[in-house]
Chain A
Amino acid sequence: MNLPEQSSTHSARLAVELVRLRRDYVVRSPVAGSRRRRRQVVRAVDDVTLRIDRGETVGFVGANGAGKSTTIKMMTGILQPTSGAVRVLGRDPVPERRHLAREIGVVFGQRSQLWWDLPLRDSYRILGAMHRLTDRAREQRLERLAAGLDLGGFLDRPVRQLSLGQRMRGEVAAALLHSPELVVLDEPTIGLDMVSKEGLRRFLREDRAERGTTLFLTTHDMGDVERLCNRIVVVNSGTVAYDGALDSFRERLGAPRELVVDLEEPLDVLTLPTAAHTLAVEAGGIRHRIAFSGAELTVPTLLTAIGSQAAVRDLSLSEPAIEDLVRQIYSRGGRL
Chain B
Amino acid sequence: MSTSHPRAELTVAKARQIRRLALGMVYRAKQGHPGGDMSVTDILATLYFGALRVDPANPNDPKRDRFILSKGHCTGAFYATLAEKGFFPLDQLDTYMQPLSKLNGHPNRNYTPGVETNTGPLGHGMPVAVGAAIAGQIDQADYRVFVVVGDGELQEGSNWEAALTAGHRKLANLTLIIDRNGLQQGARTEDTAALEPLADKWRAFGWDVVEVDGHDHDALLSIFTAPTAGRTKPLCVLARTHKGQGISFMRDQVSWHHGVPNQAQYELALQEIGQ
Query: Is chain B found bound to chain A in the same assembly?
Result: no
